[in-house]
Amino acid sequence: MIQWEGPETVACFIAEPIMNHAWHGCTPPPGYLERLRQICDRHQVTLIYDEIVTGFGRTGSMFAAQTYGVSPDILCMGKGMSSGYAPLAGIAIQEEIANGLLGPC
Ligand SMILES: Cc1ncc(COP(=O)(O)O)c(C=O)c1O
Protein backbone atom coordinates (compact mmCIF):
# COMPACT_ATOMS: atom_id res chain seq x y z
CA MET A 1 0.00 0.00 0.00
CA ILE A 2 2.92 2.35 0.70
CA GLN A 3 4.24 1.80 -2.82
CA TRP A 4 0.75 2.04 -4.29
CA GLU A 5 0.01 5.35 -2.57
CA GLY A 6 3.55 6.70 -2.97
CA PRO A 7 5.88 6.71 0.06
CA GLU A 8 6.02 10.51 0.05
CA THR A 9 2.28 10.59 0.84
CA VAL A 10 2.43 8.19 3.81
CA ALA A 11 3.25 9.83 7.15
CA CYS A 12 2.97 6.80 9.42
CA PHE A 13 1.93 3.21 9.92
CA ILE A 14 -0.05 2.53 13.09
CA ALA A 15 -0.03 -1.03 14.38
CA GLU A 16 -1.13 -2.89 17.44
CA PRO A 17 1.71 -5.39 18.07
CA ILE A 18 -0.96 -7.82 19.21
CA MET A 19 -4.17 -7.14 17.35
CA ASN A 20 -7.05 -6.63 19.73
CA HIS A 21 -9.84 -4.89 17.89
CA ALA A 22 -10.25 -6.58 14.51
CA TRP A 23 -9.07 -10.01 15.71
CA HIS A 24 -8.82 -10.28 19.46
CA GLY A 25 -5.48 -11.51 20.78
CA CYS A 26 -3.93 -12.21 17.37
CA THR A 27 -0.16 -12.33 17.91
CA PRO A 28 2.16 -11.30 15.06
CA PRO A 29 3.58 -14.12 12.94
CA PRO A 30 7.35 -14.63 13.36
CA GLY A 31 9.24 -11.90 11.50
CA TYR A 32 6.18 -9.71 10.90
CA LEU A 33 7.20 -6.78 13.11
CA GLU A 34 10.83 -6.98 11.92
CA ARG A 35 9.62 -6.77 8.31
CA LEU A 36 7.26 -3.94 9.17
CA ARG A 37 10.17 -2.03 10.76
CA GLN A 38 12.33 -2.59 7.66
CA ILE A 39 9.60 -1.39 5.29
CA CYS A 40 8.93 1.74 7.36
CA ASP A 41 12.66 2.50 7.55
CA ARG A 42 13.13 2.03 3.82
CA HIS A 43 10.33 4.47 3.00
CA GLN A 44 10.92 6.85 5.92
CA VAL A 45 7.47 6.11 7.29
CA THR A 46 7.05 6.65 11.03
CA LEU A 47 6.12 3.41 12.79
CA ILE A 48 3.62 3.91 15.60
CA TYR A 49 2.64 1.16 18.02
CA ASP A 50 -0.72 1.37 19.71
CA GLU A 51 0.09 -0.30 23.02
CA ILE A 52 -3.03 0.98 24.75
CA VAL A 53 -4.01 -2.63 25.52
CA THR A 54 -0.64 -4.42 25.39
CA GLY A 55 1.37 -1.96 27.49
CA PHE A 56 2.34 -2.21 31.12
CA GLY A 57 3.19 -5.85 31.50
CA ARG A 58 0.46 -7.57 29.58
CA THR A 59 2.86 -9.39 27.24
CA GLY A 60 5.42 -10.36 29.86
CA SER A 61 7.57 -7.26 29.37
CA MET A 62 6.66 -3.67 30.08
CA PHE A 63 5.72 -3.24 26.42
CA ALA A 64 5.13 -5.60 23.49
CA ALA A 65 7.91 -3.73 21.70
CA GLN A 66 10.29 -5.33 24.22
CA THR A 67 8.58 -8.71 24.11
CA TYR A 68 9.02 -8.88 20.33
CA GLY A 69 12.32 -6.95 20.21
CA VAL A 70 11.16 -4.45 17.59
CA SER A 71 10.86 -0.78 18.56
CA PRO A 72 8.49 1.75 17.03
CA ASP A 73 9.24 5.45 16.52
CA ILE A 74 6.25 6.43 18.61
CA LEU A 75 4.50 4.28 21.23
CA CYS A 76 1.01 5.07 22.53
CA MET A 77 0.11 3.90 26.02
CA GLY A 78 -2.90 4.09 28.32
CA LYS A 79 -5.25 1.80 30.23
CA GLY A 80 -2.73 -0.19 32.32
CA MET A 81 -0.77 3.02 32.88
CA SER A 82 -3.12 3.87 35.75
CA SER A 83 -4.66 0.40 36.13
CA GLY A 84 -7.88 2.03 35.01
CA TYR A 85 -8.15 4.22 38.13
CA ALA A 86 -7.68 7.45 36.16
CA PRO A 87 -8.16 8.46 32.52
CA LEU A 88 -4.44 8.59 31.83
CA ALA A 89 -2.61 8.08 28.54
CA GLY A 90 0.70 9.05 27.00
CA ILE A 91 3.18 8.59 24.22
CA ALA A 92 6.87 7.77 24.07
CA ILE A 93 8.74 9.30 21.15
CA GLN A 94 12.17 8.59 19.68
CA GLU A 95 14.51 11.47 20.48
CA GLU A 96 15.02 12.47 16.84
CA ILE A 97 11.28 12.90 16.30
CA ALA A 98 10.84 14.69 19.62
CA ASN A 99 13.59 17.14 18.67
CA GLY A 100 11.81 17.77 15.39
CA LEU A 101 8.57 18.54 17.23
CA LEU A 102 9.93 20.48 20.17
CA GLY A 103 13.27 21.72 18.96
CA PRO A 104 16.49 20.77 20.73
CA CYS A 105 16.25 21.02 24.54
C1 LIG B 1 -5.86 -0.73 21.42
C2 LIG B 1 -6.65 0.54 21.64
N3 LIG B 1 -6.26 1.65 21.03
C4 LIG B 1 -6.93 2.80 21.19
C5 LIG B 1 -8.04 2.88 21.99
C6 LIG B 1 -8.74 4.18 22.09
O7 LIG B 1 -8.61 4.74 23.33
P8 LIG B 1 -9.45 6.08 23.64
O9 LIG B 1 -10.88 5.70 23.53
O10 LIG B 1 -9.04 6.44 25.02
O11 LIG B 1 -9.05 7.09 22.64
C12 LIG B 1 -8.49 1.76 22.65
C13 LIG B 1 -9.68 1.82 23.50
O14 LIG B 1 -10.17 0.86 23.98
C15 LIG B 1 -7.78 0.54 22.47
O16 LIG B 1 -8.18 -0.58 23.08
Q: Which atom of ligand 1 is nearest to the CA of 51?
A: 1
pLDDT the model gives residue 6: 97
pLDDT at 104 over 70: no
CA of 50 to the centre of ligand 1 (A): 8
> Domain with 35 in it: what CATH number?
3.40.640.10
Q: How far is the CA of 78 from the centre of ligand 1 (A)?
A: 8
For residue 90, give the nearest of 41, 37, 49, 59 by alpha carbon: 49
- Under the banding of pLDDT at 50, 70 and 90, the label for residue 20 is confident
Q: Is pTM beyond 0.85 here?
A: yes
Query: For residue 24, what pLDDT is reported?
Result: 81
What is the number of structural domains in the chain?
1
The neighbouring-strand residues paired with 14 are 48
In this prediction, residue 50 carries a pLDDT of 97
List of residues 6+ apart from 15 with CB closer than 8 A:
33, 36, 47, 48, 49, 50, 72
Pick the residue whose CA is nearest to atom 15 on ligand 1. 52
Model confidence over 43-89: pLDDT tens digits?
A: 999 999 999 999 999 999 999 999 999 999 999 999 999 998 999 99
Domain ranges, residue 88: 2-102
